Amino acid sequence: MLAASSAEAFTGSAFTGVTPKLRNTAIATRAAKSHGPDMSLVLVTGASRGIGKAIALELGKRGANVVVNYAGSKDAAEAVAKEIEGMGVKAMAIQADTSKQDEVIAMYKTIDSSFDEPISAVINNAGITRDTLVLRMKYDDWKAVIDVNLAGVFLCSQEAAKRMLKKKAGRIINISSVVGQIGNPGQANYAAAKGGVLGMTKAMAKEFATRGVTVNSVCPGFIESDMTAELNAEYMEEVKKMIPLGRLGYASEVAGMCAFLALDPACNYVTGHSFNVDGGIAIGQ
């Protein structure tokens, strides 16, 4: 997959006048040297369900080895790992609450000792909501959302960076949200966390760039998942009216963007940016 995509980028003048076989070998060699991560080993946090599961499956489909992190859904996470192994790559489910530093450190140690290759990308996807209006929001609801959706991204990125900076290659992809860009009533905690992720992405991109590690974020809009299933039907009809493409997104659509950022050689030169997969909702009406 990596070599095939790179080959398309290397069909220019450097290879004119050589035999197709030699040309293909040269293309493959240059392609192998050009992409950031070597053999891909990608950690997806919160991959037992929803968007994270779709990302993990897409990565497996594209030939990456995958670590399926989860908080409590052991059976579901192991089923995802099994499905990925059925694609002919390695996969492993690992429990860790990403908001807890000791659990994150232990997860990375397990990854280090279980795979031959170092981690090449992390998709920081684990997230929760505790929605309510500001005047009713309990401090615990504020803190729980900040801990998982913001501190968790920091902790998992920090451990990933320790390994990637040494290797001078790696990709960190943070799942933010359009809510971090445009706000949403009832989600002050979530908006703060997701907006924080956008700022942190840019700071980390600047810190890590000289060592070949890229950091980007993805902002999904309203995507069909357990998270949006909790929202009331009347509200969702109103939401759909605000989406230029007129429908909710699919987890597979977010997964495609994440797999592109994590694996495709075209993204070697992309860092510090956020990519919306939102049906156009963030551009407003």
- CB closer to ligand NAP out of 2 and 150: 150
282: left (phi over 0), alpha (psi -120 to 50) or beta: alpha
Q: Which of 37, 118, 220, 279 binds ligand NAP (CB under 6 A)?
A: 220
| Positions in 45-74 near ligand NAP (CB under 6 A) | 45-52, 69-73
Alpha-carbon radius of gyration of the chain: 19
| Positions in 12-51 near ligand NAP (CB under 6 A) | 45-51
| Positions in 151-180 near ligand NAP (CB under 6 A) | 152, 175, 177
Q: Which of 190, 235, 250, 269 is catalytic?
A: 190
Q: By three-state DSSP, how is residue 14 classified?
A: helix
Q: Binding to ligand NAP by residue 217, rule CB under 6 A? A: no
**Cβ(200)–Cβ(151) below 8 Å:** no
Q: Binding to ligand NAP by residue 187, rule CB under 6 A? A: no
Q: Binding to ligand NAP by residue 126, rule CB under 6 A? A: yes
**190 has catalytic annotation:** yes
**Cβ(16)–Cβ(250) below 8 Å:** no
CA atoms within 13 A on the CB side of 138: 4
Q: 140-170 burial, b for 16+ CB within 10 Å, e for fewer?
A: ebbebbbbbbbbbbbbbbebbbebbbebebb
Binding region for ligand NAP (CB under 6 A): 45-52, 69-73, 97-99, 125-128, 148, 152, 175, 177, 220, 222-223, 225-228
Residues with catalytic annotation? Answer: 190
